[in-house]
Structure 1
């Protein structure tokens, strides 16, 4: 996977933001099955702020840019999602501190750091029926793809497929973290909203990557 520049990072972040806004109802409906139903609303409101303030973010380096995005979503996304998603962006930002470009290996390092942050912040792990159940397999797929020498488009496609398969697999799991965990075995039969969000974001990124400026 070749090294990409600041414009590519911005494209990815903007795609994440717009996808969360566009899928507010879907994510909310999924969350309402066993949760409180505010996941879609919370993500959409947080990323609306990111889009609104887009031109004002400090772009002196990639890490600073991601840190500003993290502060914006942490301050606006409600419930447990704000700290979780904010932590992911903050951890990713730390990996890119002072950087003006990014390699495939950097992407893997960012995601691994974000995953560890989410685990610590949410006291969760793979198998607990959370976004980690899609995020970790997705990252594994990216790492394999980067190691094989695949280009960015191929890597994103592989990541999207892995995320979707993993998100669908959460349907048979019992939720062990968050409000959904209160429902016990009733949480079986529907996929985790956070895991689905990861899959939908990657699928959107896969579909639009060829159109990036």
Structure 2
């Protein structure tokens, strides 16, 4: 892999981490509607650790870098968020080991690995009103864009648009996983905090891509 590949992955991770820290209150407020309100705090603390360790993370290749991020997150985030996000980065790291370059197709492969890890670790799937309901359809759309020959900017825009639309659509679902599931039908009417957080993170990554 090239230095550009690593730089692009670093940009994505750093933007994700900074957004989690910057949006701590918003993510927490979203989660407090039907959950326990700790999403913002948990993500901020975990990704603060990533940012604090940034200069010391090993960068032998993309896989090693992502593995280091997974370890940092898992060591700091409490509750269910730590294992889920840690697993996501670890699975993406494992997939990166088999890739020769980080292009759109590689990004889809790593996202697929990450979501499969989240499904397995959280015993969740589409329709359970979790972050998967935004991330999986957005990944599907990104793959469709790439296979149809869309330009990189167009594919990224569609990725972000789908993530937002699907995150908002979780308002119609009843939560079946996490603390929100305790609310039963009362969880209908408000979006899933994790799904909205994913949409906000993706939107920021895409909007600032040209300035990376």
The normalised TM-score by structure 1 is 0.95
Measured after TM superposition, the shift of residue 101 of structure 1 is 3.2
Q: Corresponding residue for 1:142? A: 142
Query: 1:29-108 residue pairs with structure 2 within 5 A?
Result: 29-97=29-97, 101-108=101-108
Q: Is the aligned partner of 1:169 residue 2:172? A: no
Please report the RMSD computed on the Cα atoms of aligned residues, expressed in angstroms: 1.2
Measured after TM superposition, the shift of residue 100 of structure 1 is 6.7
Whether the aligned pair in 2 keeps the contact of 1:156 and 1:202 (CA below 8 Å) is: no
Q: Corresponding residue for 1:121? A: 121
Query: 1:169-208 residue pairs with structure 2 within 5 A?
Result: 169-208=169-208
Measured after TM superposition, the shift of residue 152 of structure 1 is 2.8
Whether the aligned pair in 1 keeps the contact of 2:135 and 2:198 (CA below 8 Å) is: yes
Whether the aligned pair in 1 keeps the contact of 2:46 and 2:73 (CA below 8 Å) is: yes
CA distance, structure 2, for counterparts of residue 100 and residue 197 of structure 1: 30
Q: Corresponding residue for 1:11? A: 11
CA distance, structure 2, for counterparts of residue 99 and residue 194 of structure 1: 29
Q: Corresponding residue for 1:21? A: 21
| 3-state DSSP of counterpart to 2:208 | helix
CA distance, structure 1, for counterparts of residue 98 and residue 114 of structure 2: 18
Measured after TM superposition, the shift of residue 194 of structure 1 is 0.5
1:11-48 Cα distance to aligned partner (Å, 9 max, x none): 01101001111110111001011111000000001001
- Tell me how many residue pairs correspond in the alignment: 209
1:182-212 Cα distance to aligned partner (Å, 9 max, x none): 0101101110011001100111112101111
Structure 1 residues 28, 169: CA separation in 2 closer, same or farther (over 3 Å shift)? Answer: same
Measured after TM superposition, the shift of residue 98 of structure 1 is 6.6
Q: Which has the higher contact order (CA 8 A, sep 6+)?
A: 1
Whether the aligned pair in 1 keeps the contact of 2:99 and 2:106 (CA below 8 Å) is: no
Q: Corresponding residue for 2:131? A: 131
CA distance, structure 1, for counterparts of residue 16 and residue 156 of structure 2: 13
Measured after TM superposition, the shift of residue 172 of structure 1 is 1.1
CA distance, structure 2, for counterparts of residue 151 and residue 82 of structure 1: 34
1:98-156 Cα distance to aligned partner (Å, 9 max, x none): 75731211111111111111111000000000000001111001101111223332221
- Which ranges in structure 1 are unaligned for 5 or more consecutive residues? none
CA distance, structure 1, for counterparts of residue 22 and residue 75 of structure 2: 20
CA distance, structure 2, for counterparts of residue 35 and residue 134 of structure 1: 18
Q: Which moved more, 1:186-195 or 1:147-156?
A: 147-156
Whether the aligned pair in 1 keeps the contact of 2:74 and 2:83 (CA below 8 Å) is: yes
